[in-house]
Structure 1
Amino acid sequence: MIGIIATHYISSFIIKPIKELANDMSTTLQAIPDLLFELDINGKYIQIMTNKEELLIDARKNLLNKTVTEALPKEAAKIVIKALQEADIKGDSYGHEIVLPIEQQSFWFELSVAKKKPFNVTQKNFTGSRFIVLSRDITQRKKYEKEINELAHIDTLTGLANRYSLEIQLEQALLCAKRNHKKMAVMFIDMDKFKDINDTLGHNLGDSFLKETAKRISRCVRKSDITGRLGGDEFIVVLTDIKSNFNASYLANKILKKLSLPYEIDGHHIFSSCSIGISYYPGDGNNSEKLMKSADMAMYHAKTEGRNNFQFFSSLMTVDNERRIKLEAELHLAIETNQFELYYQPQISTTTQEICGAEALIRWNHPEQGLISPVDFISIAEESGLILPIGKWVIQQAFKQKSLWEKQGISGVKMSLNISAHQLHSADLVIFIQELFEKYQLQGFNIEIEVTESVAMNNPQYAIKILNAIRALGIDLAIDDFGTGYSSLAYLKRLPIQTLKIDREFIRDIETDANDAAISSATIALAHALDLKVVAEGVETLQQQQFLKNENCDILQGYLYGKPMSNKDFIQFHHDFKHREWQD
């Protein structure tokens, strides 16, 4: 009798709850969207737990009791074994990636491995180390990464090498020339009066013009030469392994003739020309930066000589230097006499259709030349070191204006501002920002600081340290002009950022260019996968707006909503915003 009662007790109060717990655990494991395996130290499959058998490299029954070396491709098996060995020592292992052929497709998986402990010290059949391996399908993420990585090397408008790729290829060519005692030349090509074409005929036709220009240049060069687009209407050709100046002269004349032929674009008959500057290795510089700068100066000299010609660099070329020296002196005076002003460009939330932010942009009220864009003086300010006092002025004015807006009832508008590489490396940047926060009694979420990819990637470890310190103040951080710089996804996920800003270069043609549309879509998807918001710059048409809304872009910025405007105009714009006709 006692035995029956004991058996009933064990069945009801011990075995049944254990079975229920096991069933519940099994249901939980089946709900996990990843592949879950139990392996031993040799990589033998002990258990396979998943409801996505289509992601297994073979049927479950075929895998059990096999080792990964038997079941997986050689390289993938090596990575799994390495992860197991690492987890055996450290207790866990993360971040290893493998690629597997499944149904004639390549699937990528990210592994997370944890060393398993026996249920109890007397558990039988538990010999050696066991591991729980979570295998996450990251195929789609790898696709996005591949598309984004292409932005780091190819100019999407022309298909030529972009600035970053040019720098790498020029460095490689220079190393080769040094090693083999060869000569080489750098040609800086700038289209004459391209701005007039762009302004009178529009950006779309201007882009078509640049595409045709790129094709003509490419037809002129040798296969061994390097051709790329720096941006705008500036192109670079690197002539590798030349015998004399004649080689560069011959090519320059050839390009001049090709680019002076009429362009037939969309029914328009366009005449243009170009100016070319040429520098040589080793005579004009022994590094890529010097060679590019010398070619640039020679190109400006070609402009002053009447355009549609080429010039070789000479140390006597001082015209541009004199102009820059004069402008630098005037910049000093501008700081002392408060000639700068902040303009503000509105940012619109696609969710609320409200103004959610404003980007602060500096302008120079020159007493003689009028309003000067930062494009014309920021590079000089950076080279001279004046960017630091100018940058501090921008930060202080932006914080001050944000505080005033709050008092004027303009709330919910985040103030965005850019900081340069020089500012990021300034020792007192974080302290300066913290003091302004206290002075103007601001909250961190009201401010967003933007850095470009190239600034963040120049010294990523240091950038991460400083950006973390800024983020600790509660300030949001954004990567500006995403896709035009160094695009290091490895570091991107380590940066403490909340926002990606897609450069206008990829927004301009999303209505007509399938590549730009795909790149923009991939960038938005990747950003959201990383839990980042996305701001699209350069939105100028309703079609662009609709495309970006359909892709769930978070924030839009561009001339469709408003050009950068003075504080007075921004306040009026904010007041009148709800009556804008372009809103849905």
Structure 2
Amino acid sequence: MLVLTLETSANQYHKANILIVDDTSSNLRLLSKLLQDEGYAVRCALDGATALTIAEAEWPDIILLDIVMPEMDGYEICQQLKISEKTQQIPVIFFSNLEDVFDKQKAFDVGGVDYIPKSFNSLEVIIRIEHQLTIQSAKAEIIRLNTELEDRVKERTQELEVTNQKLQQEINQRQQVQDAMIRQALQDSLTGLANRNAFISKVKKAIKQKQSNNNYQYAIFLLECDRFKYVKHNYGYIEANRFLIALSNQITTCFSESACISRFEGDDFAILVDSFTELKIIKDLAKNVQEKLQQPFNIQEEKMKVSNCLGVALGNQQYLEVDHLLHDANLAMQVSKNQTIYQIFDTKKHSLFKGYNKKKLDIEAELKRAIDNNEFIVHYQPIISLATGKITELEAFIRWNHPQKGMVFPSSFIASAEETGLIIPMGDLVILEACKTIVKLQKEHDLNLKVSIDLSPAQFHQPNLVKKIKQIIDATGIKGEDLQLEMPEKAIYQNPELTIKYLNELKESRVGVGISDFGYGHSPLTYLALTYLISFSVSRVKIDSNLLQQDTQEKSDYNFQEHDIYFCEQLISLSRQINVPVIVKNLRFNKQLKYFKDLQCKFGQGILISKVLDPKALEELLLWSTF
């Protein structure tokens, strides 16, 4: 039995205790030296029995655990740790040479919080350990804040008893947030279905299996429904989320457990079905899905019917890439919109899909022409300090000055731009032009202004983003601290490692990065995402005033729903404690403005303050504004 204790100097984690478990002494020495130099107290164990004994006696703050070991492997050790009340809360980080997705998934299934390959970079190990310790600390702080809030809630009148019960249920759910966040890599957080990453991984395996065995049969379904936006706009985010869950459940009942059912985004779904024996099975499945979705859904007191379109692509040995399958299934789905019945893609009937494909190519060509001809322009909306009313920042918005159609708004072309990848050069144009405008305003009017630009996940995760930003800073002369980039909350979940990398690199240039549309539906995952703000060094958070839904029974001073008020209060309170400012957008009513000012929310924007302005109108506004 090998047990080493390495004393360290004080550090920000108060001599956090780390237990390393590995049957290879050289690995123990290497990791022990690395962690000792960082100020951690380290103990080592060569086998599972020793590790369990140390964990029970010492209560380490975190455990680094090898997988492949004699007698008791890492999976079994982790399971034993999670059974014991003394050790079940200790975070376990697996490190191993096993690279298969199955092995990594199993590591998370048995209770691991992270997975590091043994071919690790020293800095990566330290960062991941510090992130886990930060998450544990933040989770404890959230629990403390929730306890305080619960004490206040208990003092409310009997009229709020139902709301108190919902709050308690939500507090209990947060205990499961850590495991749910880990599964974000492969699971849609709202519905529990597979996400796009998991689906693509499954399809890749199907393609590979088809190449080696032509008797193997598989097909993919692409399904698009049409009522999600209607529910969101008319009933709010929470009811829209409930609708998506009900929709997902209905779809799931149509397929066997072996099918991979995935939600891509909104009410778009993809399904992989394999090992069928005849085409009739696929046709029956497609027909059954469409029939099931014709049954009305209950949205509050409204019975709502959902129309859908469904396209199917049958796997064959000519398909070598997932994108080609998705492309053909999507073509079939588009034709299905006009046929009112599912469509199976067939190369012999390719002419059926030429019309849609030509239209798509035409749109792509028109967008490329617009970029080349500088038809895209940038408008701006002021952001003010809610405390002083002064303009502190501008948010940039793209517009298309079409030669025939006039001014075209983003809702008409952004989806096509994202689908074709042209969102990247369009986004580059917006960043460059916005930086030029801010520098011009600062020089000509002696103004202290910042500019913020919203990026899509594709824009934020492009390989050369940081290089582009630095080049734009050098070319325009804008100060790094005057440029604020905003990414959607889902960009963090899609690629957390790249997000961390870019945040650190942009921070070196003093460029701020915030999260836009934070708290979509304010699910339990929102609260864990907030703890990530600490470890990710996010500069600010932007929320939508539409999070506050109308309370027809007028139960509160502001006439908003209690769970919405609770969410906003907790978010803004916690953001103040970690010094991450909150911006509320889409302010339309005075009562919204008053509510957020009373909460001491720092910044706001919306048509109540100012509409989106072209550069000329913006300059006129700034001339009359006080800074």
TM range (shorter): 0.5 to 0.7
Higher gyration radius (CA): 1
User: Identity of paired residues, percent?
Assistant: 21
| Counterparts in 2 of 1:567 and 1:149: CA distance versus 1, 3 Å | farther
Task: Tell me which residue corresponds to 1:472.
Answer: none
Aligned with 1:397 (options 391, 410, 433): 433
Deviation, 1:551, is: 2.5
Cα distance in 1 for residues equivalent to 2:586 and 2:181:
26
| Counterparts in 2 of 1:345 and 1:397: CA distance versus 1, 3 Å | same
The C-alpha deviation readout for 1:493-532, integer Å capped at 9, x for no partner, is 884244554453x61312xxxxx2x322222222213443
| Counterparts in 2 of 1:202 and 1:173: CA distance versus 1, 3 Å | same
Q: Confirm whether residue 141 of structure 1 aligns to residue 131 of structure 2.
A: no
Q: How does 1:127-526 map to 2 (within 5 A)?
A: 138=132, 141=135, 146-181=179-214, 182-192=216-226, 194-282=228-316, 285-305=319-339, 307=340, 309-314=341-346, 315-316=350-351, 317-335=353-371, 337-344=373-380, 357-369=393-405, 371-374=407-410, 376-378=412-414, 381=417, 390-406=426-442, 407-416=444-453, 418=455, 420=459, 424-425=463-464, 429=468, 432-437=471-476, 441-449=477-485, 481-488=490-497, 492=501, 495-498=504-507, 501-502=514-515, 504=517, 507-510=519-522, 516=523, 518-526=524-532
| Counterparts in 2 of 1:38 and 1:326: CA distance versus 1, 3 Å | closer
Deviation, 1:235, is: 0.8
| Counterparts in 2 of 1:312 and 1:373: CA distance versus 1, 3 Å | farther
Deviation, 1:179, is: 3.6
Cα distance in 1 for residues equivalent to 2:398 and 2:193:
32
The C-alpha deviation readout for 1:25-61, integer Å capped at 9, x for no partner, is x99869981157999x9999xxxxxxxxxx999xxxx
Asked if the contact 1:68–1:80 (Cα under 8 Å) also holds between the matched residues in 2, the reply is: no
Higher strand share: 1
Higher helix share: 2
Q: Confirm whether residue 562 of structure 1 aligns to residue 545 of structure 2.
A: no
The C-alpha deviation readout for 1:362-381, integer Å capped at 9, x for no partner, is 22233454544446545655
Deviation, 1:327, is: 2.0
Unpaired runs of 5+ in structure 2?
1-6, 30-39, 67-80, 95-125, 140-176, 549-564, 588-604
Question: TM-score normalised to the size of structure 1?
Answer: 0.64
Cα distance in 2 for residues equivalent to 1:236 and 1:320:
20
| Counterparts in 2 of 1:351 and 1:528: CA distance versus 1, 3 Å | farther
Which is further off, 569-578 or 164-173?
569-578
Cα distance in 2 for residues equivalent to 1:271 and 1:238:
25
Asked if the contact 1:481–1:502 (Cα under 8 Å) also holds between the matched residues in 2, the reply is: no
| Counterparts in 2 of 1:27 and 1:436: CA distance versus 1, 3 Å | closer
Task: Tell me which residue corresponds to 1:105.
Answer: 88
Asked if the contact 2:394–2:450 (Cα under 8 Å) also holds between the matched residues in 1, the reply is: yes
SS in 1 for 2:90: strand
Q: Confirm whether residue 547 of structure 1 aligns to residue 570 of structure 2.
A: yes
| Counterparts in 2 of 1:204 and 1:431: CA distance versus 1, 3 Å | closer
Task: Tell me which residue corresponds to 1:473.
Answer: none
Which is further off, 147-156 or 274-283?
147-156
Question: TM-score normalised to the size of structure 2?
Answer: 0.61
Deviation, 1:203, is: 4.0
Asked if the contact 1:346–1:557 (Cα under 8 Å) also holds between the matched residues in 2, the reply is: no
Cα distance in 2 for residues equivalent to 1:397 and 1:388:
14
Deviation, 1:157, is: 2.5
Task: Tell me which residue corresponds to 2:15.
Answer: 34
Asked if the contact 1:151–1:483 (Cα under 8 Å) also holds between the matched residues in 2, the reply is: no
Deviation, 1:555, is: 2.9
Cα distance in 1 for residues equivalent to 2:290 and 2:322:
24
Q: How does 1:49-88 map to 2 (within 5 A)?
A: 71-73=50-52
SS in 1 for 2:240: helix
The C-alpha deviation readout for 1:335-355, integer Å capped at 9, x for no partner, is 355432223355677999976
Cα distance in 2 for residues equivalent to 1:240 and 1:525:
40
SS in 2 for 1:149: helix
Task: Tell me which residue corresponds to 1:14.
Answer: none
Deviation, 1:239, is: 0.8
Cα distance in 1 for residues equivalent to 2:264 and 2:424:
26
1:394 counterpart letter in structure 2 = V
Task: Tell me which residue corresponds to 1:121.
Answer: none
| Counterparts in 2 of 1:346 and 1:364: CA distance versus 1, 3 Å | same
Q: Confirm whether residue 527 of structure 1 aligns to residue 533 of structure 2.
A: yes
| Counterparts in 2 of 1:392 and 1:197: CA distance versus 1, 3 Å | closer
SS in 2 for 1:562: coil
SS in 2 for 1:411: coil
| Counterparts in 2 of 1:241 and 1:156: CA distance versus 1, 3 Å | same
The C-alpha deviation readout for 1:360-417, integer Å capped at 9, x for no partner, is 2322233454544446545655777766654443233111211233233542424335
| Counterparts in 2 of 1:38 and 1:253: CA distance versus 1, 3 Å | closer
Which is further off, 328-337 or 523-532?
328-337
Cα distance in 1 for residues equivalent to 2:468 and 2:200:
30
| Counterparts in 2 of 1:109 and 1:390: CA distance versus 1, 3 Å | closer
Cα distance in 2 for residues equivalent to 1:201 and 1:481:
22
Which is further off, 268-277 or 419-428?
419-428
Task: Tell me which residue corresponds to 1:461.
Answer: none
Task: Tell me which residue corresponds to 1:6.
Answer: none
